Amino acid sequence: MAAYVLAQVYGVNDPAGFADYRSQVTATLAAHGGKFLVRNGTVQVLEGDWRPVLVILEFSDAEQARSWYDSAAYQRLLELRQQSAVMELILVEGV
């Protein structure tokens, strides 16, 4: 069953650091079969007041998603991301 990591970006407090993170994160995904489905896409609010800045990653299953998140390669980038941006991440299984 496919799995998705959804990230909501609340703000970037270090644009240079976040750019560095972004330039390196794609390589960490490839090793675990992950890919971007949405990365800073245009959002059209259809109902309500939600104004998210979203990133959606797709993996073949939840095990691959956790494998990516827990990997040494991503963990090295995680501190950089946390220092440069305020985000929340969730892992959800799809259909």
Q: Are 58 and 37 in contact (CB under 8 A)?
A: yes
Domain hosting 12: range is 3-93
Q: What is the Cα–Cα distance from 74 to 68, expressed in whole angstroms?
A: 7
pLDDT of residue 51: 86
Angle at alpha carbon of residue 3, lines to 37 and 29, rounded to 5°:
55
Total number of domains constituting the chain: 1
pLDDT of residue 65: 98
Q: What is the pLDDT of residues 21-54, one digit of tens each?
A: 999 999 999 999 999 999 988 889 999 998 889 9
Q: Are 70 and 89 in contact (CB under 8 A)?
A: no
CATH number of the domain to which 51 belongs:
3.30.70.100
**Dihedral angle sign, alpha carbons of residues 69, 52, 27, 94:** positive
**Residue 95 pLDDT class (50, 70, 90 cuts):** confident
Q: What is the pLDDT of residues 55-94, one digit of tens each?
A: 999 999 999 999 999 999 999 999 999 999 999 999 999 9
